[in-house]
Amino acid sequence: ENKFTLLQGPPGTGKTRTAIELLNALHLCQFQKYYKTLSHKTWEKVRESAYDRVTGRSHTSSVGRRRTGAIYSKDMTLGDILDAMENAGSDDIVLSPKPHILVCAPSNAAVDELVRRLINQNFRDNENKVYTPDILRIGSKKTENEAWKMTSLDARVDEFMNKGALEAAGIARQADRDLFGMREKLTNLKRTARQFMEWWNAGMIKHSNFNLNRESWGKVNNIPPSDSNHRQIEELKVHLTQLMECMRSCELSRNRYDMLAQLNTDSKPNAQTGLGFVGSDRKKKKATDSTTRRQRNEIIVRRALETSHLDEAEIVFCTLSTAGSEMIVNRMRRAWDFVLIDEAAQSVELSTLVALQHQVSRCILIGDPQQLPATVSIASGNMRLYQQSLFERLMRAGHSVSVLDTQYRMHPEISAFPSAHFYDSKLKNGDNVCSLAWKKPYHVEKRYRPLVFFDVASRQQKDILTLSSYNTTE
């Protein structure tokens, strides 16, 4: 099985749109696996709990119990804090890893364009319904656009950090109350499931004349779709799984605010110990130590929140250089399901490898080696070797390449030149550019054809200071 997939997109062939559609397919496939696993785990947990209750092996309430709340101290390391947040879960909440996809490009402009397209276009599920995955943009620019703010890692973390300890504690308590209400719904759904299982078991024992053990008790996986009970049991599974998702999301928010409430108590220096207070050297030293502890504390809290969001995000967008940051390489705890790199032919090989160093199982490279390569300022005969992209290396080594062969941007007279000179005359024209709307009356004049070559009798010049090329006459 090839770990790399190469997709070549000549100009106007819809390369960026294809990248978004490909992301949609990858995410939907991974999300269906996640949902199926979560549904199975949830039903099995309910089934085993019902068996223990019916057989008298469990004397506890059917309402799940929350584990002892995490205790955070300001002496804890980042790893200790993340472990405490992870272990502060409830016994009755089933966990299953969601999709985790990394999307990179060489420049911020290219990454922002992908995010913009995804926000405007959204994804579609198997029923053609629109949905928006949990996406995270690392290193995004400051903006007032609410849709962009929701994707920004800095904006999400800032929203937490701007909460004081008392406000964070209040939000955590409200999340606990919300979880209590969800557990009551879970109890009712469990009761309905147990009643169905008991009725189903009675029929099984009657027809097969044997006792059901823990492994077979309540098993309803083989109900044919034609059976009238199939729809009811599937709806019950959906309700249980959706409730489990809501409980997990609520608990995650509770754990973050709980951590923030306990560790963010020294948010500001008081008036008497602040750095501006004029007093004895001892007081000044105490104020300095207090400020240092507060700053260290804020850094650790911010890093814990960043890592938590990074691990939970379903699709992460960043530049290739950011993919090699300490946050991703050292702090992130989850592997990537896929890594998709856009404009891969405009990135030198070493830059692309940066994004592949963190537990990557599959990589998709999208680009076009026939367009401009990476900009490299090396005055050496070896420049071309360094300038080579990983896309080019794999392609020259015989790796298969899927090609988008229909362009929808250029007039046929314009596309004829690149098709003949760069794409072996295999670049086709879309129906839109061949329509009458693209034929103008002035095209009959030779000087106003869609493509005209002018011979400018002048030479290229170079700016001494900036080294930029220019041609004044041209």
pLDDT digits (tens, 9 = 90+) for 368-423: 999 987 777 666 656 667 778 999 999 999 999 999 999 999 999 999 999 999 99
Q: What is the 3-state secondary structure (H, E, C) of 264-297?
A: CCCCCCCCCCCCCCCCCHHHHHHHHHHHHHHHHH
E-strand ranges in 107-243 read 123-124, 130-131, 135-137
- Whether 368 is covered by a domain: the verdict is no
- For residue 45, give the 3-state DSSP assignment: helix
- Whether 139 is covered by a domain: the verdict is yes
Task: With beta carbons less than 8 A apart as the criterion, state whether 32 and 391 touch.
Answer: no
Domain count for the chain, please give it: 1
Query: From the CA atom positions of the chain, what is the Rg in Å?
Result: 30
β-pairing verdict for 338-341 and 363-367:
parallel
Question: 10 Å Cβ neighbour count for 49?
Answer: 19
Q: How far apart are CA 372 and CA 348, in angstroms?
A: 12
pLDDT tens digits, 183-225 = 999 989 988 988 888 877 776 655 555 566 777 777 776 777 7
Which long-range contacts (C-beta less than 8 Å, at least 24 apart) are formed by 60-69? 62/187, 62/190, 62/191, 63/92, 63/183, 63/184, 63/186, 63/187, 64/90, 64/91, 64/92, 64/93, 64/183, 64/186, 65/90, 65/91, 65/92, 66/90, 66/91, 66/176, 66/179, 67/91, 69/258
Taking phi first (over 0 means left), then psi (-120 to 50 degrees means alpha), and beta for anything else, what does residue 39 get?
A: alpha
Among candidate residues 76, 100, 101, 75, the one with its CA nearest the CA of residue 87: 76
Q: How far apart are CA 390 and CA 396, in angstroms?
A: 10
Task: With beta carbons less than 8 A apart as the criterion, state whether 335 and 359 touch.
Answer: yes
- Whether 393 is covered by a domain: the verdict is no
Task: With beta carbons less than 8 A apart as the criterion, state whether 54 and 194 touch.
Answer: yes
Q: Which residues span the domain enclosing 16?
A: 8-331
Q: Within the chain, which residues score under 70 in pLDDT?
A: 1, 57-69, 89-92, 141, 143-144, 203-212, 221, 265-291, 377-384
Q: How far apart are CA 266 and CA 275, in angstroms?
A: 14
- Whether 367 is covered by a domain: the verdict is no
- Whether 54 is covered by a domain: the verdict is yes
Q: How far apart are CA 186 and CA 240, in angstroms?
A: 7
- Whether 229 is covered by a domain: the verdict is yes
Task: Quote the pLDDT of residue 216.
Answer: 74
Among candidate residues 425, 421, 413, the one with its CA nearest the CA of residue 452: 413
- Whether 66 is covered by a domain: the verdict is yes
- Whether 21 is covered by a domain: the verdict is yes
**Model's pTM, two decimal places?**
0.84
